[in-house]
Structure 1
Amino acid sequence: MSIELPAKSKMRIFVVFLLFISAICGSTNVDTISGEVKIKNVDRIIDCSSQLVKTTSKITLENTGKAPLKNFLLAVESSVKDNLSFLGVKDSNNKDLRLSETVVKGYGDVRFYRVDLKDPLNVGSTAVVVAEAVLTKALQPYPTAITQQEDQLVKFIGNLYFFSPYHVTSQKTNVILNTKTIESFTKVKPFSQLDGTLVYGAYANIGPFTEKELSVHFKNNSPFLTVSRIERLIEVSHWGNIAIEEKIEIEHTGAKLKGPFSRYDYQQDHHSGPASVRSYKTFLPASAADVYYRDTNGNISTSNMKVKKDSVELDLRPRYPLFGGWKTHYTLGYNVPSYEYLYHSGNEYLLKMRVIDHVVDDMQVDELVTKVILPEGAHSIKANFPYPLTRLPDTLHYTYLDTQGRPVITFTKRNVVENHIQDFQLRYTFPTIFMLREPLLVVASLYTLFLCVIIYVRLDFSIHKEAHVKAN
């Protein structure tokens, strides 16, 4: 049995459908690949000397069209888009260019970014931009397990050519390894090996979206430390102090230890365990004070602190060395003066602090959770982040002398590297009169206590009174 809808109802449904489709399309950037953009030259550097793969591409753009060029597209191939942690572009004056993720119809497996030029590129002119990308977990241990005495070998698989939606006239690639121990590598002429660097190209006339596997198998004993999770707690006080505490779970994600571990050999032979991590450096703000470093067993004394002009350097040494597959968990805390990070005008306040701080050189963080505890009574809270983050629902935190609870702003991000060490801004309103709340509560509590003591001393709680016999 079928029901025939009236013509007006069909028209309404059709209009609603069109509005729905337009809303979806309007919420997503859609671009097309312009045939008027050419890449005249690309000089690319792939740095594989640490656990991160850092790519720097110097791109020479050419406008072959009939109108000024305002933007262009960068493309990331499907094989590495899940490893991409950071992407940034700068112009010839070292100024950051605005990036926005977009889509191109027909290329669902490719991630595109639209780059807006500060000044339009005139017809027939060229411009040089520099694109920087950081890949995490792009180096895989091979073999996956080694003994205590063996070096760590890793394998990198990437694209021999610069992946681009445009035609590339000429390109050259340098792969930096910082080691002469290279087991194997892709050999496509012209190429050469200079100490710890592989040089590929120049290659001419490479078409759009061209891919060819680049494989390098080499020695890499740099620390493969991955922060599985870091929970960063920032507690703001208007009495002159900001307390910061970080709970860090860290793991050695390099080649796993195969066979037994000998503490004696490790202490006697300095070359034993070349891929293990004995210690690492963490940098705190220069004004950091009252620093503590502890785990579930208590304070860890095997650490050194050095105060510098622009930072506080901590040389952290875990209770035991970290081999592949080994983990550790610790808490790091310190205080900083609020006047360096908290600004106000009347009842309006601005907190400006880092989303994450330095944990270890060439760090990679799987999950970051940052919590900001504001004073009780703060409201009209607005957050401004330097890059996309996931903000979780606000909660309340209760501590001494709290009656309503302190607002807690929580945000999280995955796949974080050093390039994400940037400031966030938190604006909120806090009436100055609320500063007297806690002192008044203390005064009222003490007054009530003394009043109770006075009443207790002066009252007689005995059941009967003693009889007084008057002497004759």
Structure 2
Amino acid sequence: MMPAMAKTRFSFIFFVYIIVKCNGVTVDTISSDLKLKNVDRNIDISSQLVKITSKITLENTGRAPVKNFLYAAESVTKDNLAFVGFKDNNNKDLRVVETSVKGYDDVKFWRVELKEAVNAASTVVVTAETVLTKALLPYPTAITQQEDQLVKYNGNLYFFSPYYVASQKTTVIVNTKSVESFTKVKPYSQQDGTISYGAYSNIGPFTEKELSIHYKNNSPFLTVTRIERLIEVSHWGNIAVEETIEIEHTGAKLKGPFSRYDYQQDHHSGPASVRSYKTLLPASAADVYYRDTNGNISTSNMKVKKDSVELDLRPRYPLFGGWRTHYTLGYNVPSYEYLYHSGNEYLLKMRVIDHIFDDMQVDELVTKIILPEGSTNIKLNIPYPVSRLPDNLHYTYLDTKGRPVVSFTKRNVVENHIQDFQLRYTFPRLLMLQEPLLVVGFLYMLFLCVIIYVRLDFSIHKAEHPHKD
């Protein structure tokens, strides 16, 4: 028989195993057979986002083929990390799965699945792309109308990895010569808006060293604090899209009064403010409207291009640090470009979110899809993790049971998330006759009531007719 202590230990391990399996958590180990032969890293901090592209040469020093490897993010950046993606030498996307490693609770890990296994003593080159939001902090935090905006970037001088790195270089793109200060670790060089570090050799796993750069950055620091995207599908040839957008300037706050006269007279006044920005809509977008709580905003232009519709949106007032605006943008697109069907089975394929402005960052996205009344067997597929909201019903004219609404939300969204979702559902085509029959029935009853009213006499007493002599 099993001793009591062994039974307790076995029960505990089994309990932990059940918890891990039920929560869908994967646990990996760090292979000692892998090392990074070379890493060439570019850090672009010229906009409000931090875009890091790393070309990694992975080497298998073991005897068995390797099919995957781990990518890690240090505790300083893991909360700001909005997007992680990998491509192989043929520019094909690699599958990335979030995972964990026992003993490294403060580190965020992803397992990258390679297209082909790396044999012993062989190498493979992959490219990692990461985007960080709110990693650039205004310093000072408040400026006057005439001052430039200075920001500070704090990162890791070395490529953070669970593997040994034989050689690495880092190039930081600031796109300005106005650099107040930066970390100086030899060898380094500064030239034409870039700062280069390395090559550094023989860097151990999980090595961190502060990289700090203080520089001028007047690019638009706009944050969409919340966007609610409503997509209404009609089988009569149209899909209506409406977005309710809340935007805040999250750069250095305006210190002192705002002078409209100076702002209009001096083109260099308010260098960190935002006068306008460009939004890109699908090429087939029509009936575009742009309004806020006061009504239509006429200070905007629309340009129809070959592959998109470009909107030059200009708010009612310029946006300085700490200022906000709220508006609604809507348009229609033909359903045949996004809705496919075979019999009673339908497939809707549209973007999760559209381009709002260059280098956009979105705190919260809520997308709602209103399907035709009578839709069933709804299945949603999105290329990255989102939080699914409870389904509900939406009622409009000529509805009897209500139209099903599929909703989901996602936080920390950037341009890399402009990807298509797929929504499959079943809709009996005979139900398309429901609305016309309701209209015909209503008109029939209306005319019938008129005929009855005209033909019959509903008076209480009959009218007296004059007697004839």
Fold shared, TM-score > 0.5 on shorter chain: yes
1:125 aligned partner: 122
**Cα distance between partner residues in 2 of 1:292 and 1:179:** 37
- Deviations 1:94-122 (Å, cap 9, x if unpaired)? 11111101111100000011111110001
Say whether residues 1:144 and 2:154 are aligned partners.
no
Q: 1:458 and 1:18, CA in 2 relative to 1: closer, same or farther beyond 3 A?
A: farther
2:19 aligned partner: 24
1:3 aligned partner: none
1:295 partner amino acid:
D
1:238 aligned partner: 235
2:31 partner amino acid:
S
Equivalent of 1:77, from 74, 78, 85? Answer: 74
1:447 aligned partner: 444
Matching of residues 296-315 of structure 1 within 5 Å: 296-315=293-312
Q: 1:16 and 1:161, CA in 2 relative to 1: closer, same or farther beyond 3 A?
A: closer
Cα deviation, residue 200, structure 1:
0.4
**Cα distance between partner residues in 2 of 1:285 and 1:98:** 28
2:143 partner amino acid:
I
Cα deviation, residue 310, structure 1:
0.2
Matching of residues 167-246 of structure 1 within 5 Å: 167-246=164-243
Q: 1:108 and 1:10, CA in 2 relative to 1: closer, same or farther beyond 3 A?
A: closer
Secondary structure in structure 1 of the residue aligned to 2:43: strand
Q: 1:17 and 1:150, CA in 2 relative to 1: closer, same or farther beyond 3 A?
A: same
1:277 aligned partner: 274
1:406 aligned partner: 403
2:39 aligned partner: 42
Q: 1:14 and 1:158, CA in 2 relative to 1: closer, same or farther beyond 3 A?
A: closer
Cα deviation, residue 461, structure 1:
2.0
**Cα distance between partner residues in 2 of 1:71 and 1:10:** 38
- Deviations 1:324-373 (Å, cap 9, x if unpaired)? 00000000000000000000000000000000000010000000000000
Say whether residues 1:106 and 2:122 are aligned partners.
no
Say whether residues 1:460 and 2:457 are aligned partners.
yes
**Cα distance between partner residues in 1 of 2:7 and 2:393:** 46
1:205 partner amino acid:
N
**Cα distance between partner residues in 2 of 1:55 and 1:118:** 23
Say whether residues 1:68 and 2:73 are aligned partners.
no
Say whether residues 1:319 and 2:316 are aligned partners.
yes
Say whether residues 1:160 and 2:172 are aligned partners.
no
2:372 partner amino acid:
P
Say whether residues 1:419 and 2:422 are aligned partners.
no
**Cα distance between partner residues in 1 of 2:350 and 2:198:** 44
2:332 partner amino acid:
N
Equivalent of 2:113, from 113, 116, 122? Answer: 116
Cα deviation, residue 20, structure 1:
3.4
2:45 partner amino acid:
C
User: Which sits farther off after the overlay, 15-24 or 185-194?
Assistant: 15-24
Secondary structure in structure 2 of the residue aligned to 1:447: helix
**Cα distance between partner residues in 1 of 2:398 and 2:444:** 15
Equivalent of 1:335, from 332, 336, 342? Answer: 332
Runs of at least 4 residues off by over 6 Å: 9-16
Cα deviation, residue 466, structure 1:
2.7
Say whether residues 1:386 and 2:387 are aligned partners.
no
2:219 partner amino acid:
S
Cα deviation, residue 21, structure 1:
2.5
- Deviations 1:273-317 (Å, cap 9, x if unpaired)? 000000000000000000000000000000010000000000000
**Cα distance between partner residues in 1 of 2:6 and 2:184:** 63
Equivalent of 1:253, from 242, 247, 250? Answer: 250
**Cα distance between partner residues in 1 of 2:310 and 2:336:** 22
Cα deviation, residue 469, structure 1:
4.7
Q: 1:235 and 1:16, CA in 2 relative to 1: closer, same or farther beyond 3 A?
A: farther
1:41 partner amino acid:
N
2:355 partner amino acid:
H
Cα deviation, residue 465, structure 1:
1.4
Could you tell me the TM-score, scaled by structure 2's length? 0.97
Could you tell me the TM-score, scaled by structure 1's length? 0.96
CA RMSD of aligned residues (A): 1.6
Say whether residues 1:363 and 2:360 are aligned partners.
yes
- Deviations 1:149-190 (Å, cap 9, x if unpaired)? 000000000000000000000000000000000000000011
- Unpaired runs of 5+ residues, structure 1, are 1-6
- Deviations 1:353-404 (Å, cap 9, x if unpaired)? 0000000100000000000000001111000011001110000000000000
Say whether residues 1:263 and 2:260 are aligned partners.
yes
User: Which sits farther off after the overlay, 451-460 or 347-356?
Assistant: 451-460
Q: 1:11 and 1:469, CA in 2 relative to 1: closer, same or farther beyond 3 A?
A: farther
Cα deviation, residue 419, structure 1:
0.1
2:353 partner amino acid:
I
Cα deviation, residue 462, structure 1:
1.7
**Cα distance between partner residues in 2 of 1:409 and 1:356:** 15
Q: 1:10 and 1:74, CA in 2 relative to 1: closer, same or farther beyond 3 A?
A: closer
Secondary structure in structure 1 of the residue aligned to 2:251: coil
**Cα distance between partner residues in 2 of 1:195 and 1:349:** 54
Number of corresponding residues: 465
